[in-house]
Amino acid sequence: MSELRIAGGKKLFGKISVSGAKNAILPILGAAAATDGKVTIYNCPDITDVYTSAEIIKELGGNVLFEDGIMYIDSMGINKTSISANTASKMRSSITFCGGLLGRFKEVSFPIPGGCVLGDRPIDLHIDGFKALSAEVFSDESGFTAKGRLKGTDIHLRYPSVGATQNIMTAACFADGKTVIYNPSKEPETKDLADFLNMCGAKINTKSDKIEVEGVGNLSGCFYSVIPDRIEAGTYLFAAAMTGGKITLEGITATELGEVYNVLLKAGCELKSSENSITLKSSGILSPIDKITVSPYPGFPTDLQPQLTSLLSLAKGKSIIEETVFNGRNRHINELNKMGANISEDSSFIINGVPSLHGAEAQCHDLRGGAALTIAALAAKGTSIIKDPEYIFRGYENFVEKLKSLGADIEYYS
């Protein structure tokens, strides 16, 4: 069994660059399969999920080359509209291929997606969106098939689902007429997908309360650069805050970090932001936060909730986190308590800060939970073993190498 071995108690110091955003590149790769040209994507993160997406494109009949942070995609040869259960089981974001394939080929078949186990993650909003666009959808416990020429319409999402918004938006590029998506996802990664699609010839207008899509019939190739990963940035900033260090992240700004920046200030960290970097300095003495509610953008992101839980486990007082996005995003709690944290669950996470954490053996259950355990281990006294860190590599480029460059004592054993 693979593991990370971490000798904690070392302050993090130094400078690293923020990679391209995992949550942006995956739907962009899904949409790239809907183009009938060649796509070149810069700032593409070297993570496991990117390779899974490339595998899907190849299975569909496309060509992919990935080198030096640049992804070259030729989708003209794609001639399949079904995604295999084997690749779909590796990550939930595989579902973002469906909207583009349905629009381009008028048909798509897809099995139930895999990915991290975070509680209820239904795909009904995706299916409802395809139906609203006039597709016929046949579904059962194994997956679904959607067929038909799409027609523009008004779609009111009962929840601002990121994946459903992205799938519907991509599909609507091929619909006859205009589609308006009300109550859409407002995440920067959704805006990044819209910008990519527009570079491919789409006509998408993203507004605060709705997304308007004029159908264009087909999408061509383009050159595009992915936005920086705000979740990766937050993870490293939390790590520096917990260890009492000082780090600079290049390639991201306070505006792009959003609510995460404000939370770090509330926790007692010193922050400076320039046009292209953020510097954090921490005394290691952290302030509790009475209550923070995890919610869709512009709220605090669910993908940083586990890492925030780690951070507040060392705050001097009681903090409460309410997770409203994924009802099963709690498997890191017991693992953190193994390290000496004092966290209980009711309808929220109740975190009573402790003076210090201690080394322990902990189990990764998902991507962000694994990152949370790692940064807790970096701050703990003694040595920790983090089992199955491959979850982490799904979303963090050069994770071990970047931490080592900041002075962490961390080793990966496969």
Q: Cα separation of 171 and 224, whole Å?
A: 20
Bridge partners of 3?
387, 413
**Domain range annotation of the chain:** 3-19+228-413, 22-225
Q: What pLDDT does residue 90 have?
A: 81
pLDDT in tens, 135-159: 999 988 788 899 999 999 999 999 9
| 3-state class (DSSP) for residue 47 | coil
- Output 384 or 111, whichever has higher pLDDT: 384
Residues 6 or more apart in contact with residue 367 via CB below 8 angstroms: 116, 391, 392, 394, 395
State residue 114's pLDDT score.
Answer: 53
Joined tokens for residue 127: 């299916």
Residue 270 vs residue 144, higher pLDDT: 270
| Residue 120 confidence (pLDDT) above 50 | no
* The model scores a pTM over 0.85: yes
Residue 400 — pLDDT band, cuts 50, 70, 90? very high
Is cis: bond before 298, omega within 30 of 0? yes
Return all residues near 200 (Cβ < 8 A) that are at least 6 apart.
Answer: 31, 35, 37, 39, 219, 220, 221, 222
Q: Do domains 3-19+228-413 and 22-225 have the same CATH topology?
A: yes
Please pick, among 44, 98, 116, 364, the residue that the annotation labels catalytic: 116
Q: Report percent pLDDT > 70 for the chain.
A: 97
Report, in angstroms and rounded to the nearest whole number, the Rg of the chain calculated over CA atoms.
21
* Mean pLDDT, range 236-257, rounded to an integer: 97
What angle is formed at CA 227 by the lines to CA 225 and CA 232, rounded to 5 degrees? 135
Q: Which DSSP helix (H) or strand (E) runs through 315?
A: none
Check pLDDT > 50 for residue 284: yes
DSSP H stretches of helix in 37-187: 48-60, 85-88, 97-105, 124-132, 162-172
Q: How confident is the model at residue 118 (pLDDT cuts 50, 70, 90)?
A: very low
pLDDT tens sequence across 54-95: 999 999 999 999 999 999 999 999 999 999 888 888 887 889
CB count, 10 Å around CB of 227? 21
d(CA 197, CA 202): 5
Burial of 275 (0-12, 13-18, 19+ CB in 10 A): exposed
Beta bridge partners, 38, equal 74
Backbone angles phi, psi at 376, to 5 degrees: -65, -40
Q: What are phi and psi of 278, to 5 degrees?
A: -135, 135
Topology (CATH level 3) of domain 3-19+228-413: UDP-n-acetylglucosamine1-carboxyvinyl-transferase; Chain (3.65.10)
Read off the pLDDT of residues 326-336 as tens digits, 9 standing for 90 and up: 677 788 999 99
Q: What is the pLDDT of residues 292-334, one digit of tens each?
A: 999 999 999 999 999 999 999 999 999 999 998 867 778 899 9
Look up 222 and say whether it is catalytic.
Answer: no
User: Between 114 and 20, where is the model more confident?
Assistant: 20
Q: Helix 97-105 crosses helix 162-172 at what angle (to 10 degrees)?
A: 20
User: Does residue 111 register a pLDDT over 80?
Assistant: yes
84 compared with 102, residue with greater pLDDT: 102
Neighbours of 249 (CB within 10 A): 24
CATH topology of domain 22-225: UDP-n-acetylglucosamine1-carboxyvinyl-transferase; Chain (3.65.10)
Percent of the chain at pLDDT > 90 equals 88
- Which residue type, as a one-letter code, is found at position 258? G
Cα 126 to Cα 119, 130, 159, 180, 292: the distances in Å are: 18, 6, 11, 15, 29
